[in-house]
Amino acid sequence: MLEHVPHWLGAMLTNVRAGHAKLAIVQDGVASGVERIDLSSPAFADGARLPERFTADGIGISPPLVWGEVPAGTTSLALLVEDPDAPAPNPLVHALVWNLPSDERRLEEGEIAQDGDGELDGRDVGRNSYLAEGWLPPDPPTGHGNHDYVFQLFALRSTPDLGSNPGRSRVAEALQGNVLAAGLLVGTYSRGETSPLQDGTDAFGTGPALA
């Protein structure tokens, strides 16, 4: 849809962005001082450009993800993918998966998809910013510059019942004071520009993530 935005309009909105400070992972009471989960993807390096197949310019499926061990006492995992560079008041939610089993260590390519009321093991794909279940393919405005797509994985000490297809606001509330460990992975995408690799800093350019 946003590929049809004229380049001049996207360029004019370059400085209109939600901001990394509004990402869920940096909010007070969420991930400060917690352990780190090693989160990565076999499809792209941290800080690198997302392959087109995972975007609105390709087939638009979710990328594969893998992660390491989580702390003892973890009852479940939650995944939230946000775009803080969207020209909107708040980051766009591109994916939300609630109540992943604590022994899960990967999501396969295309696995973040509509699942109705969830799976038998309790996991449930929630609503993205377009109020639909599943992966919202990156679709930045032409000429708007690089967008970060921030994959945030949370190990939770308790798993409140949020009902089926939870949205971002309910999940954000459930994260408060409830995170044992967190992982961070950034993919970038743009139309008309390339994405330079980051130099070992986190998504905010301030140093190692969650250090």
pLDDT tens by residue, 15-74 = 668 899 999 999 999 999 999 999 999 999 999 999 999 999 999 999 999 999 999 999
pTM of the model: 0.86
From CA 174, how far away is CA 160, in angstroms rounded?
A: 7
Q: Which pLDDT score is estimated for 126?
A: 95
Between β-strands 76-83 and 106-107, what pairing exists: parallel, antiparallel or unpaired? unpaired
- pLDDT, one tens digit per residue, over 38-55 is 999 999 999 999 999 999
Residue 60 burial (CB count, 10 A): 17
Question: Domain-by-domain residue ranges, the chain?
Answer: 2-189
Give the domain 2-189 fold: Phosphatidylethanolamine-binding Protein (3.90.280)
From CA 43, how far away is CA 63, in angstroms rounded?
A: 7
Residue 165 near residue 159, CB atoms below 8 Å:
no
From CA 20, how far away is CA 183, in angstroms rounded?
A: 16
SS3 49: strand
Mention every residue, 6+ apart, whose C-beta is less than 8 A from residue 140: 2, 10, 83, 85, 86, 147, 189, 190, 191
Burial of 90 (0-12, 13-18, 19+ CB in 10 A): middle
